[in-house]
Amino acid sequence: MSRFHATLACGAMLAMATPAAADDLCAKALTALGSGGAALACTQTPAGVAIAPDAERAARLSQLSEAGEGRFKAHFGRDAPRYVVMEAVELDGVSDPKSMLQEAGFSRVLIWFSQQEQISQVVAAARTSAEAAARRQGLDEAAVTAAGERAATARRPTQVTLDTREAQVVPHELGHGWFVKAFWPDHQSVAQGHYGGPGPDWLDEISALLMEDDNGAEERRKVFRDVYQGRAGAHLSAFPVADLIDLPRFLSRDHPAQTRPEIRPAASSVSGGVTMRVIDSSDPNAMAQVLEAALYYPQGRMFADFLLDRTGDPQVFMAIAEALAQGTSFEDWLSAQGPSRRLPGTIADLDGAWREWLVVRLGQPSSERS
């Protein structure tokens, strides 16, 4: 018998719906998994289901997913497309649950780590990175092992860290798939990850960032603010502020994690899952690449705030996506709709307005202070 052990895709009530329900998504999902789904708990929301080994865990994942559904409706004016969040488990007779669920009509299937597996992955990555750094320093194997153990202990995530991360990442990852399916329903992605959608990468990423909770949004803003004001510590302090606020570059570039295969997660099983890729923090070239990708998210969050603030319209992203899905460029959309939405009509003028907006809220950037 084949068995499935999925891994994280990426850096995501107590009773099952009754069989008599008019749109019984839990029954549909578990039936798609065949006998492998018989022992699993399932929780249903208006648009999807969460599947896990126990009811408490299914309810937790469902709660996070349903919160994302509400944010998607608020910003994109549409119900979230059908989805499944499934905690990674071993299922006899099931080799590729993601495909089975997609064939059953769930357009977005997110395979998510259990929290224990998340801990194992973080600890293993921290240990491996620390050991690599110690060997680069020429330390003997006893010292290498000790360094690895210290790092593993220090980096072991707490329950609060795990819960906080899930509250951000589960709806974030669902948002990528919802965005593509809602506005390009016939698109079939052939690229690894979510950056293969037809829309521009910046809007694809913002669609996911908008699914995060308030704590996640504020965390993104803080990172941007600290770098902008020259108060970031450690590696972030080396990131050029000029790049951080360069809006034309942000709007025209590919997602840095798409163009930097060395920092993308490594491919794993036929199920489509991925595993963590270890980055040696003592390698300056690797860290520069990581920072470039990491700061793309705070840039996206702040640009989303800018558009929301300037237009006063929580669904401005729906208007942009609808136009882009019809083949209109973002600059053409600005020219046609910008003035009526209190936005400039060109990218160059938008960049100027963006910089002025940042100065009002955050002061002069550190690179321009006397």
Q: What is the pLDDT of residue 93?
A: 73
CB atoms within 10 A of CB 344: 17
pLDDT of 5 reads: 38
Across 293-310, average pLDDT? 96
Lowest mean pLDDT segment, chosen from 31-35, 282-286, 311-315: 282-286
Reported as type and span, the H/E element at residue 65 is helix 55-76
Any idea what DSSP says for residue 218? Answer: H
Tell me which residue has tokens 């996206």: 300
pLDDT of residue 370: 47
Average pLDDT over the chain reads 85
The whole model's pTM is what? Answer: 0.85
For the chain, percent of residues with pLDDT exceeding 90 = 70
- In the chain, the percentage of residues whose pLDDT exceeds 70 is 83
Average pLDDT for residues 270-291, to the nearest whole number? 54
Tell me the one-letter amino acid at 90.
E
Q: Which residue has the higher pLDDT, 78 or 91?
A: 78
> Can you spell out the DSSP letters for 288-303?
HHHHHHHTHHHHHHHH
Between CA 45 and CA 33 the distance in angstroms is 19
Average pLDDT over residues 104-126: 92
Q: Give the residue with greater pLDDT, 18 vs 181.
A: 181
Token code pair at residue 228: 């902008």
